[in-house]
Amino acid sequence: MDQKGSYRIETRAAEALAEWKALFADQVAMKAKELSKESGSTGVITLGHYRQAVSIAAQMVATAVQDTGSRDGHQEAA
């Protein structure tokens, strides 16, 4: 890959990436807090909570990415 080459990114692609990044960050934070409460770790979020939260958030983002693909006009034919 040419390290010096420049690339243009479609506006919609950049917007979608920003949305997915924000969704992932929000979901990780929310799920880690929920997991902390469920485990009885009042006010303490552990690395373990974050690990679990990342797995859950990754699945949610993957679903969001697939849903976006079905609306962008570039989905594969069934």
- Whether 48 contacts 7, CB under 8 Å: no
67-77 per-position pLDDT tens digit: 886 666 555 44
Quote the CA–CA distance of 9 and 12 in Å, as a whole number.
8
Quote the CA–CA distance of 38 and 34 in Å, as a whole number.
6
Q: Which of 5, 25, 21 is nearest to 13 (CA)?
A: 21
Can you give the residue ranges of every domain in the chain?
23-69
What pLDDT, on the 0 to 100 scale, is given for residue 2? Answer: 57
CB atoms within 10 A of CB 20: 16
20-63 per-position pLDDT tens digit: 999 999 999 999 999 999 999 878 999 999 999 999 999 999 99
pTM for this entry: 0.75
Reported confidence tier of residue 4, pLDDT bands at 50, 70, 90: confident
